[in-house]
Amino acid sequence: MRRYTCSGCSLLCDDIMIRSDGLFIDEVIGACLKGKERFDQITAKNRITSPMIRKGDKLSKISWDEAIEEVVKIIRNSSNPLLYGFSNSSCGAQSKAIELARSIDGFIDSNASICQGKVLGIANEFGFNLTTLTEIINKTDLIILWGANPAETIPRLLNKTLFSRGKFRMTGREIKTLVIIDPVKSASFNVMGVRDIALQIEPGKDIELIQALKEECCQADSIPSEGVAGIDQEDLKRILLHIMGTENGVIFLGQGILKSDKENRLIREILEFIQIINSKQEKGRMSLIMMGGHYNMAGFDHVSLSLTGQVGGLQFKEQNVINGNKSIVTKINSDDFDCSIIVGTDPISHLPSTLSSKLSKRPIILIDNQMTGTAELADLILPTAITGIECEGLAFRLDQVPIHLEKILDPPSNLPSDEDLLNQIVMKLNEKGT
């Protein structure tokens, strides 16, 4: 058996034991349910192993040469292409996708733009401290889950951070305080201990809570006697006491905040709050980690920043990035596209119906390895190998640390990786003079 890194989620656990003969995976030890689901994709019933094109209401198999020609045809007939996804692709594939978007003057955005990408976009204004899983394991004494439910979304996160014994501490869980701020009593509440703090906040009152904590930081006894956002005064003072007294604290910002904060007001308040805390502490510090779900949610922003100097949605014109201030949501909502290239994601199922219906009305090229809601409506489907199992690649863990994913076995039907396929498309377009 050998140790491999699991690409089931953004935690990228590197302690998974796998027995394989290069053709099949015989045994997987140490993976959570998400990890096992990732390995099950190899032989899943909805696995796609050959290119398909829509003819009428049905999808029919075609050869790879025909599929590449059809991709080129759709792109050449487009003047405003849209590229989206890439959080389930390696950094190499993301780089090729940006190269493709540049060559066809398209718009490209990743899944991160509707969640953790917002934080990076605001970070230039406030700045914030990042930390790593290693530092959390070894040094952290305060863990705050804000709008986050890792027990179900990233199952091994608390096991690695909360219940671990650090190198620089004689004790583990017994000196770590867990604070959960959430309007819903999620599965993560079940790990609470006697010293932990559970704050079941009223829905939509996160800004009121953070503003009250900020005011208390600057002016003592400012919290009203009736409490704030459904949380009583004593609990608010208790949490603030922990925050200001921590030696090494971390806030895990979950999808409950990242996706719901449409105007980014709460994210701004949280970043400003962290800045206030760190300016007042002499020895301790507070850091922030965004809990992205897909295994390379953080990678796209690193790649786009290194290639273009910008993060988030990139609009190209005459092969240069222009400041369009657009996102995947605004592009689709305003019908500002005439075809889409979707890679490794399922926007038809995950985006609001008002957006997915608009997306489905224009040609869709899907690059993915399984049948999804998007595949059911796509005009052209090109299957690829599963990164981290059937091909190697680089990904960024949720704490922004780059991790190399190894190949375990060969893909069925010699499927190309996302990176190889996107490279073929770029080369074919260059041959055509596009």
Separation between Cα atoms, residue 68 and residue 60, nearest integer Å: 15
pLDDT of 104-138, one tens digit each? 999 999 988 876 655 666 666 667 788 999 999 98
Query: How are beta strands 339-343 and 81-85 bridged, if at all?
Result: parallel
Separation between Cα atoms, residue 217 and residue 54, nearest integer Å: 60
* Fold of domain 117-290: Dimethylsulfoxide Reductase; domain 2 (3.40.228)
> What per-residue confidence (pLDDT) applies to 224?
80
The pair of structure tokens assigned to 206 is 């996160």
pLDDT of 262-294, one tens digit each? 667 888 888 888 888 888 887 788 999 988 889
- Whole-angstrom CA distances from 346 to 40, 222, 226, 352, 371 are 18, 46, 45, 12, 9
Separation between Cα atoms, residue 274 and residue 215, nearest integer Å: 13
Domain 2-115+295-432, CATH class in plain words: alpha beta
- Whole-angstrom CA distances from 120 to 91, 127, 193, 211, 310 are 18, 9, 33, 21, 10
Residue 19 bridge partners (DSSP): 27
Separation between Cα atoms, residue 68 and residue 84, nearest integer Å: 19
pLDDT of 163-194, one tens digit each? 888 777 666 788 889 999 999 899 999 999 88
pLDDT of 218-269, one tens digit each? 677 778 888 888 888 888 888 888 888 888 999 998 887 776 656 678 888 8
Calculate mean pLDDT across residues 53-57.
90
In terms of Cα–Cα distance, which of 6, 2, 1, 5 is closest to 36?
Answer: 6
Domain boundaries, the chain: 2-115+295-432, 117-290
Query: How are beta strands 339-343 and 364-367 bridged, if at all?
Result: parallel
Which residue is it, tokens 């559970």? 198
Report the run of H or E that residue 182 belongs to, with start and end.
strand 177-182
Question: Which of the four pLDDT bands, split at 50, 70 and 90, describes residue 327?
Answer: confident
Cβ atoms of 425 and 74 closer than 8 Å: no
> What per-residue confidence (pLDDT) applies to 324?
67
